[in-house]
Amino acid sequence: MDGYLLASFILGCVAVITLLVFRVTKHKSLDLPDAIVAFLTAAGIGGGIKVCVLAFNPILVSLGSDRLYVFIGGLAVIWVSVQALYKFFVSS
């Protein structure tokens, strides 16, 4: 199994458990769509890290000078995922 996939799955599970704890302490229910959004957003962090690492992998020679743009795209995915999780948990 891909290590990044496993890390993404673990991050997603941690996000759902954390959201559940936040909701229980505030006496609110946890809806399935909220859990799915938390899972996918947290899993996006692992995907963004993988894109950043792959951007500078010497095996992917076909990227050429576009490696920097792929790396920045990975950073953007990480940034948006972290920002969305922060807003999601602050509003919970």
CA distance 74 to 57: 14
pLDDT bracket for residue 63 (50, 70, 90):
low
Q: Give pLDDT tens digits for 11-34.
A: 999 999 998 888 888 888 878 888
Give pLDDT tens digits for 30-56: 788 888 999 999 999 999 999 999 888
What percent of the chain has a predicted confidence (pLDDT) above 90? 48
Q: Which residues fall within 8 angstroms of residue 55, CB to CB, at 6 or more apart?
A: 63, 67, 68, 70, 71, 74
Q: Is pLDDT at 1 greater than 80 in this prediction?
A: no
List the chain domain ranges: 3-91
Which is nearest to 52 in space by CA: 26, 37, 31, 73? 73
Distances (CA, A) of 82 to 15, 26, 27, 35: 11, 22, 25, 16
Residue 17: count of CB within 10 angstroms of its CB: 12
How many CA atoms lie less than 13 Å away from 79 in the CB half-sphere? Answer: 7
Higher pLDDT, 64 or 25: 25
pLDDT of residue 61: 64
